[in-house]
Amino acid sequence: MRIKVGFGFDVHQLKDNHPFIVGGVNLEHHRGAFGHSDADVLLHAICDALLGAANLRDIGFHFKNTDPRWKGISSLILLQETVKLLKEKSFVVGNIDAMLCLEAPKINPHIPQMQENIAKAMGISIEDISIKATTNEQMGFVGREEGVVAYAVCLIEKV
C-alpha cells in the first residue's frame, strides 16, 4: 500500500447577516462566510487536503466558482464528490486532522455534529476525523472577525 499525506487551506470573508456554515453545521452568529458555494471553510480545506494528497489538483479546479452548478451548493456534496474522485484512483481515506481559526462563535459544542456530518459524507468513522479550533488572539483579519481560516491534513492510502 502507498500512503500519501495532503495539506489543505481555505479562507473566507465574513459578512453581516450571512449564513455561517462550518462542517455542515449552520452556526448562529451575526456574521457568516461568503463564497460561491455555502462557503464552508472547513470542508473546503479538507477537500483540498484530499485532492492534493491524490495529486488531483485543488477544489477550484474541480468545482469552479464560475460554474452555476456549484452556486450555493452544500460543501458536503463537494466533499462527497471529492471522495468519489479519490476512489476512482483507488485511494481510501485514513484520517483527517483539521484546525479552524476564528474569534467567534465558539466551535467546541458543534464539533461532534461536524464530525458526524463529515464521516457520513466521506463514508469513514467519526474516530478518523479530528477537528480543533483556536482564536487569533484578536489580531489580523481573523481577530477583527473579517474572515475565517481552516487548515487540514489528511492521510490517504492506495489500495
Annotated binding site: 10-12, 36-37, 44, 58-60, 63-67, 134-137, 141, 144
| Strands of the 31-34 sheet, one edge to the other | 31-34, 2-16, 147-158, 91-101, 129-134
Question: Grid coordinates in use for 86?
Answer: 479519490
Annotated binding site for a divalent metal cation: 10, 12, 44
Cα of 146 vs its chain's centroid, Å: 18
- CA-based max dimension of the chain: 48
SS3 of the chain: helix, strand, coil, percent, to 5: 35, 35, 30
Q: Pairing state of beta strands 91-101 and 147-158?
A: antiparallel
User: How buried is 67 (Cβ within 10 angstroms: 0-12 exposed, 13-18 middle, 19+ buried)?
Assistant: exposed
* Peptide bond just before 105 cis, omega within 30 deg: yes
C-alpha cell at 60: 477550484
